[in-house]
Chain A
Amino acid sequence: MTYEFYKIKVLVVEDNKPMLDLTKSILQTFGVVEVIAAKDGEEGFREYCLHNPDIVIADWMMKPMDGISLTRRIRNDPKSPSQYTPVILMTGFSEKRRVLEARDAGVTEFLVKPFNARDLYRRIAQVIERPRQFVRSEDFFGPDRRRHKNEEKPYTGPERREGGRRAPPPPVTEIDFADRPQQDEDWQ
């Protein structure tokens, strides 16, 4: 049994035509039938509102609207059909401050270019298998910037203390957006 990617829609937003075509072809090889293309953030947001895709893959540096601004609109614009759609940001940048900037805009995963087919697949598998919870605070709305190490593995062992059970310790967390992430290593 494999992923049934033919059931999902993916929006790719990229101003570099050869790169857009290459990304589309890889996704089609993965089995995605409906790949929607847009050449910048503005067109990307229009297509996003029109098609309500399941995943957005966007380049960072585009004019007039870049991938970061597009992500902010997806997360915060009242016209956005879904604020929770995973956004995978593609970029040549890998420095920590760039990664943090993307994270703070509400990006779900970060894909450093150049990448290979497995890198792209890993990011997609990550948003499917380990979706982030969302956080809404006074100044931020987007995927939780920390990922809980034990969120998918709740303690199932025997309880050793009866009555007056203490509250469990807070979950161990770690920053997801590591310093200069390398494609071959898991961010987490």
Chain B
Amino acid sequence: MTEHYNQKRKRKAEFIKPINTLKAKVGSGGLSEDILNRAQALLENNTVDFLPLAEIYLAALMKGIEMAKEADASADKEYIISSMLYPGMQLKANGGMFHYPLVTKIADKLIQFLEVIDEADIEVIEIVLAFHTTMRAVVLGRIKGSGGTHGANLIQALHDACMRYFEKNKGNIGKMIIAEE
């Protein structure tokens, strides 16, 4: 049996192995545990106030919610979802960097929810609003760290709301899952 039915290949890929100048410059040996510990300590002890940043992203999320509320049938569904997804991603990314891991956990749940819905219907908007309210309460209440049992309960309540939505609206998630596969 011959490859490609004896036909000449039409598309060729060229493989290039660039010279590793980076390795030549930095040498070997990695970094010591001491340096890594110092870098980690610097990160953990940063004194950045997350509140102003969080307010920007929460305002952007609210703008996305308002846009979703006002959207008519001709609106671009993906654009509407993205307008809530991107601020959610920023909250997830930055919360944990600036001592608010609970915001990161909640925002991660929000992202996972928005990534699998097909359109932002009224029930979706209500759920996203609940995420917004919860994250705002965490930030304004200066709840740093995991939030303990209360934090876990908040996440569970939001998770349950999403699950109830999926149970009720099976049609609004199927297309996305098929697209992923």
Partner of A54, one of B22, B101, B107, B111: B22
By size class, the interface of chain B is 35 or more
B93 within 8 A of A: yes
Give chain A nearest CB distance to B43 CB in angstroms: 5
| Contact in complex: B53, A16 (CB < 8 Å) | yes
| Contact in complex: B22, A55 (CB < 8 Å) | yes
B13 within 8 A of A: yes
Interface residues of B (CB under 8 A from A): 11-18, 20-23, 25-32, 35-36, 38-40, 42-43, 46, 48, 53, 86, 89-98, 101, 104, 107, 111, 115, 180
| Contact in complex: A125, B25 (CB < 8 Å) | no
A-B pairs, top 10 by smallest CB distance, nearest first, are A114-B96, A92-B93, A113-B93, A117-B39, A1-B29, A92-B89, A84-B18, A117-B40, A137-B13, A29-B39
Q: How far apart sit A129 and B22, CA to CA, in the bound complex (Å)?
A: 9
| Contact in complex: A113, B20 (CB < 8 Å) | no
Among A1, A115, A117, residue most surrounded by chain B Cβ atoms (within 10 Å): A117
Give chain A nearest CB distance to B11 CB in angstroms: 6
| Contact in complex: A135, B14 (CB < 8 Å) | yes
By size class, the interface of chain A is 35 or more
Interface residues of A (CB under 8 A from B): 1-5, 7-8, 16, 18-19, 21-22, 25-26, 29-31, 54-55, 61, 84, 86, 90-93, 95-97, 113-118, 120-121, 125, 127-129, 131, 133-138, 144
| Contact in complex: B36, A117 (CB < 8 Å) | yes
Give chain A nearest CB distance to B18 CB in angstroms: 4
| Contact in complex: B36, A114 (CB < 8 Å) | no
Partner of A18, one of B22, B35, B53, B104: B53
Query: For residue B28, which residues in chain A have a CB less than 8 angstroms away from its CB?
Result: 1, 3
| Contact in complex: A135, B15 (CB < 8 Å) | yes
Q: How far apart sit A36 and B117, CA to CA, in the bound complex (Å)?
A: 40
Q: How far apart sit A143 and B89, CA to CA, in the bound complex (Å)?
A: 26
Which single residue of chain B is at the shortest CB-CB distance from A97?
Answer: B180
Q: A92-B92, A133-B17 are in contact. Are A8 and B25 (CB under 8 A)?
A: yes
